[in-house]
Amino acid sequence: MRLAKYLAHAGAASRRAAEDLVRAGRVTLDGEVVRDPARDVDEGSGVALDGVALAGPEARVVYAVNKPEGVVSTASDPGGRPTVLGLVAGESRRLYPVGRLDADTTGLLLLTNDGELAHRLTHPSFEVPRTYRARVARPPVGEAALRALRRGVELEDGPTAPAEARRLAPDVLELTIHEGRKRQVRRMCDAVGHPVRSLARVRFGPLELGDLAPGAHRRLTGAEVERLRRATASRA
């Protein structure tokens, strides 16, 4: 494995910051300074940072959280709002949110220290489906609106791909989309004349939000992580 990746997996720094650490001469292999972040290493290479031996790549973890309203899904917020990382108290590994939910959207968000998995789950080419429940204005939602959402609607950054759309109540829509554009569901609902009043993500790929309480988290089982990996395997 490349040295910078090894350092990142060991939790020492992000991939980019790890490259800087190596170039700065702070990393040694069996006591010898290396400055090439691409150097091939493994657990027998004696990798140390600032003279302190690093444990091997840490175990991969994936958490599901039920993001409450007002919590941001970036790792930090200049405005000082609480972040989703704060929902997983007691976890010392560096976690990354898998994609984003708007601050005013609630529901299922994944956090992981597996950068590769996070990348694949959010990369448009894998088209991992996400399902949202939207309470909307101007009920009832009619057949024409549903048909338009299914077919794809014109947004300012281009038409949306076909979506699955069904009406759960006169003012509640369930939408499954295979893209992750900014405020996409809100803009799609706007486009068909039903502005969103509240929005929750209830499914991400093979995973359901289920009965996870707002603000709560749980660690995914190995079988669940495997299902997530398989959701990105077809186009690998």
Point out which residues bind ligand URA (CB under 6 A).
101-102, 105, 183-186, 199
Our CB check for ligand URA shows the closer of 102 and 174 to be 102
Least separation in angstroms between CB 228 and ligand URA = 18
Our CB check for ligand URA shows the closer of 22 and 101 to be 101
In sequence order, which residues have a C-beta less than 8 Å from that of residue 118 and are 6 or more positions away?
96, 97, 98, 99, 110, 112
Our CB check for ligand URA shows the closer of 91 and 102 to be 102
* Residue 56 in tokens: 């091997």
Task: Could you list the beta-strand ranges (E) of the chain.
Answer: 27-29, 32-33, 47-49, 52-53, 62-67, 96-97, 105-112, 130-136, 154-155, 158-159, 164-169, 172-177, 196-204, 207-208, 217-219
Our CB check for ligand URA shows the closer of 27 and 185 to be 185
40, 102, 114, 171: which is the annotated catalytic residue? 102
The sign of the CA dihedral 174, 176, 182, 188 is: negative
| Backbone φ, ψ for residue 201 (5° rounding) | -90, 130
Least separation in angstroms between CB 84 and ligand URA = 12
Least separation in angstroms between CB 183 and ligand URA = 4
d(CA 48, CA 31): 8
Q: Are strands 164-169 and 158-159 parallel, antiparallel or unpaired?
A: unpaired
Our CB check for ligand URA shows the closer of 183 and 229 to be 183
HSE-up (13 A, CA, CB side) for residue 130: 25
Q: Is 102 a catalytic residue?
A: yes
In sequence order, which residues have a C-beta less than 8 Å from that of residue 11 and are 6 or more positions away?
58, 93, 94, 113
Q: How far apart are the first and last CA of the chain?
A: 19
Active site residues: 102
